[in-house]
Amino acid sequence: MIVVLAGMVCIAAWGCATSQRAAGIYTAELGRAPSQSILIENILVVLNSHGYQVHSVSSRMLETEWRLEDAPYALQEEGITQLRDRIIVILGQRGRGYYTAQMRGEEQVLMDGQWQQRALTAAALDRYRAIAAQVKQRLQPYMTQE
């Protein structure tokens, strides 16, 4: 369920986009398809093109492995040595033959030997937005069908 509060888009059980970005989380509606297999196939193509490996897939959720990378120099000055991120896609069904997907991107930083969530880096935010846009583009032909 999506709720609009004071101009912020909120997804039930995930909170509002503004607070999520500050907490290292990005969410987006990815679209719909007439079958779950079409939906998953299109999501997997995009995730694979961005270097994500799928950890698990079920009828309700798709989850990638954590992707690790060295922190950029600017973050290293703050004591952050590595970044990691992953994507979780919640799959749903609304009505007969109407399958939906919501994306949740998470990023964490390694600081003082512990993984912590903090505001998304600009690179992660750009990557998540690009992934969501590419999935939506691939699903567009199905979303215009009645």
User: What average pLDDT score do residues 10-37 get?
Assistant: 71
Look up residue 130 and give its two tokens: 């690009």
For residues 38 and 103, what is the distance between their CA atoms, to the nearest angstrom? Answer: 16
DSSP class per residue in the chain: -EEEETTEEEETTTEEHHHHHHTTEEEEEEEEESSHHHHHHHHHHHHHHTT--EEEE-SSEEEEPPEEEEPPHHHHTTTEEEEEEEEEEEEEE-STT-EEEEEEEEEEEEETTEEEE-SPPHHHHHHHHHHHHHHHHHHHHHHT--
- Predicted local distance difference test score (pLDDT) of residue 23: 65
The string of pLDDT tens digits covering residues 33-70 is 999 999 999 999 999 999 999 999 998 999 999 999 99
- Predicted local distance difference test score (pLDDT) of residue 98: 86
Question: What pLDDT band is residue 95 in, cutting at 50, 70 and 90?
Answer: confident
**pTM value?**
0.81
User: What average pLDDT score do residues 132-139 get?
Assistant: 96
Other C-beta atoms within 10 Å of 27: how many? 23
**79 pLDDT more than 50:** yes
pLDDT exceeding 70 applies to what percent of the chain? Answer: 82
**7 pLDDT more than 50:** no
Between residues 96 and 131, the one the model is more confident about = 131
For residues 11 and 3, what is the distance between their CA atoms, to the nearest angstrom? Answer: 6
